[in-house]
Amino acid sequence: MNEPIYLDHNATTPIRPEALEAVTRVVAMLGNPSSVHQFGRDVRRHIEDAREALAALVHAEPADVIFTSCGTEANNLALQGVGRDRVFVSAVEHVSVLEAREGVIQIPVDENGIVDCTALEALLAEGTAPALVSVMFANNETGVLQPIEDIAAIAKQHDALVHCDAVQGAGKVPININALGVDMVSLSSHKIGGPQGAGALIVQDTVGLGAIIHGGGQERRHRGGTENAASIAGFGVAAQYAANCKDEAARLGDLQQDLEVRARAVLSETQIFGEAVARLTNTTCLTMPNVSSETQVMALDLAGVAVSAGAACSSGKVGASHVLEAMGVGEAAGDAIRVSLGWTTTTDDIERFISAWSALFQRTLDPA
């Protein structure tokens, strides 16, 4: 029997061996990183090395990096910590942005899931209270890339701060916080080959950011609590690999194209969401008409192929995607699955997926 294959890298990607080695080394060390003695300073050194690596990944300064427990916490810190009265978020954001605070105002998107910049400008013009705009770099379900530079330019015309959830984009597309024109960027360790349990919010020094976790004064009083030094160390190592993403993005793009061409050869009616616009080279969101997302995920799992039906942040719940609903795709939203590739994906994995997906489709034609 073949070993199961993993095509759900947008949920979490396997930890790189070098990152695991860093975690193993640091978790065995004795010392609180806030302690001033030698033991504490030795642990602190690994955190600061990681801080430099994360800063380099997005072309920021090390002092701009605030470590958190995950990308969700980083998003919550961004939306809650700035204290802005008006908060505008795209309708296709991750739930950790959509639900980060009460009263967020959703910016509509077009049929490809791209923010309607005209609508954003109109929303910002409706009031004068301080505003925050939060739009993701790349969608976690479709891979669609947002025009962040254009969005930031519009926001700045209205003196609004800009936050970008770059959790899915980091390590797949080069990210430069200054070129994008944004004030804050969220990152997550386990999306780029680091361990679970670490995230970061990159904050430009012009932003006045309060804490949402108080006590202890860690992370320059932005995030209380003893840092998870081992996970942060692994995060830093993974960031070094993520910084050199162009060749890997090209390799995955070839695999993505192969997958999509062959999927259409099996089922010409399949929809591939976002294919008409720029998107990540590792993400394919496609449909099998009249076969529910849940059925596809379960059948593929039984065949030893792991995929998902959108975001993996709802405690195993499989339902229609709010992202696809915001794009206005209609009933097809209930028939979509996400196939996301990563650094361990091979041509054989694509072959296995197509074989299993095709077999499922053939069973729908001949249930007997």
The total of other beta-carbon atoms located within 10 Å of residue 198's CB is 30
Q: Is the pLDDT of residue 315 over 50?
A: no
Q: Give pTM, 2 decimals.
A: 0.95
Question: Could you tell me which CATH class the domain 17-242 is placed in?
Answer: alpha beta
Averaged pLDDT of the chain: 95
What is the distance between the alpha carbons of residues 236 and 185, in angstroms, rounded to a whole number? 16
What does residue 111 show for φ and ψ, rounded to 5 degrees?
-65, -15
Give the pLDDT mean for 308-332. 76
The pLDDT, as a whole number, for residue 366 is 75
What's the N-to-C CA distance of the chain in angstroms?
Answer: 25
* Ordered strands of the 161-165 beta sheet: 65-68, 199-203, 184-188, 161-165, 131-134, 86-90, 105-107
Spot the catalytic one: 70, 245, 285, 313: 313
* Nearest alpha-carbon partner for 143 in 34, 285, 21: 285
Domain edges within the chain? 5-13+245-365, 17-242
Query: What whole-number distance in Å separates Cα of residue 219 and Cα of residue 76?
Result: 16
Residue 316 has pLDDT above 70, yes or no: no
pLDDT one-digit tens code per residue, 67-84: 999 999 999 999 999 999
Crossing angle, helix 17-27 and helix 38-58, to 10 degrees? 150
Per-residue confidence (pLDDT) for residue 3, from 0 to 100: 92
- Where does the pLDDT of residue 183 fall: very low under 50, low under 70, confident under 90, or very high at 90 and above? very high
pLDDT digits 0-9 by tens, 231-286: 999 999 999 999 999 999 999 999 999 999 999 999 999 999 999 999 999 999 99
Examine the residue annotation and report whether 285 is marked as an active-site residue of this protein. Answer: no
Chain segment 198-239, per-residue pLDDT in tens: 999 999 988 999 999 999 889 999 999 999 999 999 999 999
Closest CA to 136 of 83, 173, 97: 97
Both tokens of residue 54?
């994360």
Report which residue type is found at 94.
H
CATH superfamily of 5-13+245-365: Aspartate Aminotransferase, domain 1 (3.90.1150.10)
pLDDT at 355 (0 to 100): 98
- pLDDT bin (cut points 50, 70, 90) of residue 365 is confident
Question: How far apart are the C-alpha atoms of 45 and 280, rounded to whole Å?
Answer: 34
283 phi/psi in degrees, rounded to 5: -120, 125
Q: Are 290 and 335 in contact (CB under 8 A)?
A: yes
Q: What is the mean pLDDT of residues 338-355?
A: 98
